[in-house]
Amino acid sequence: MPALAKYRHSFFVGLQSNLVYRWNFALRGGFSVFHLTVVFILWSAAYAGNTHIGGFDLAQTLTYFVILILLQFFVGAFNEDYQISEDIRNGLINQFLLKPINYFLYRLSVFSAARIVSGLLVLVPLGLALPLLWPYLAPPHEAWRLALGLPAALLSALIQFTIAYCFGLLTFWFLEIQSFILLSLAVETVLGGQMFPLDLMPPALFHLSQYLPYFYQMYFPAAILTGRVDFAGALSGLVIQCAWALILLGAAQLLWVRGLRRHTAVGG
């Protein structure tokens, strides 16, 4: 079997199994529209009496949050860490150790399939809300933003998946990792720019955040796509993003090798 064919099959199996959970994704997508309503109400109230906050007008800030929702559903990690953790705890991972398949690539292909399903499904509630949202949106028109924003979004997907993968592998050491995941999620949510655009932080903190991986999870692609970063900033950011992706891939490989040494496969 050609090397890539098995991952293509995993991808299609992933598509089918995620379509089974289409209502869960649709429900989650519906909730995200309510979250967007909270964001719109809060930021509209904050902008009352201010034409600009942090150099951006209300429409630009709201566009940022809409793009964030799209990114969350197209490139964000949902419960991949739990799935990997369950594979290890239940011993299901043993079957991957005996077959000529790379577990990371297998999981990555299933993750890609899941994000295509969830991403397409979130377009439904967002599409329905679009007539209401449209007057508040101000997407930038420069073509280079799309040309750099899409690779940034793909790298963001890789970073998010690899972080989730690393957390899942912690199950080799700890039986219960749910609290680790939620603790990390809180940090990622803030430092990833999901609660507010990071450029509104004090300049020193914003500068510091640019050297953390969280910056490249959500904020960076959203900032490119919504005009919050200039061309030079986007290029240098892509270099740092690539570096973080490589570092995290290295960490994932290290955890896998070390974790397997601790792993005991039982039964047959």
Q: Which residues bind other proteins (CB under 8 A)?
A: 23-24, 27-28, 31, 34-35, 37-38, 41-42, 44-50, 53-54, 176, 179-180, 182-183, 186-187, 189-190, 195-196, 200-202
Q: Smaller CB distance to other proteins: residue 179 or 264?
A: 179
Strand partners, 56: 53
CB of 45 to other proteins, least distance (A): 4
CB of 135 to other proteins, least distance (A): 14
CA distances from 172 to 88, 89, 97, 139, 268 (A): 7, 8, 14, 45, 20
Burial class (CB in 10 A: 0-12, 13-18, 19+), 118: buried
Q: Are 26 and 124 in contact (CB under 8 A)?
A: yes
Q: Smaller CB distance to other proteins: residue 119 or 197?
A: 197
Burial class (CB in 10 A: 0-12, 13-18, 19+), 165: buried
Burial class (CB in 10 A: 0-12, 13-18, 19+), 120: middle
CB of 1 to other proteins, least distance (A): 35
Phi/psi class of residue 25: alpha, beta or left (left: φ > 0; alpha: ψ in -120 to 50)? alpha
CB of 231 to other proteins, least distance (A): 26
CB of 81 to other proteins, least distance (A): 14
Burial class (CB in 10 A: 0-12, 13-18, 19+), 230: exposed
CB of 188 to other proteins, least distance (A): 10
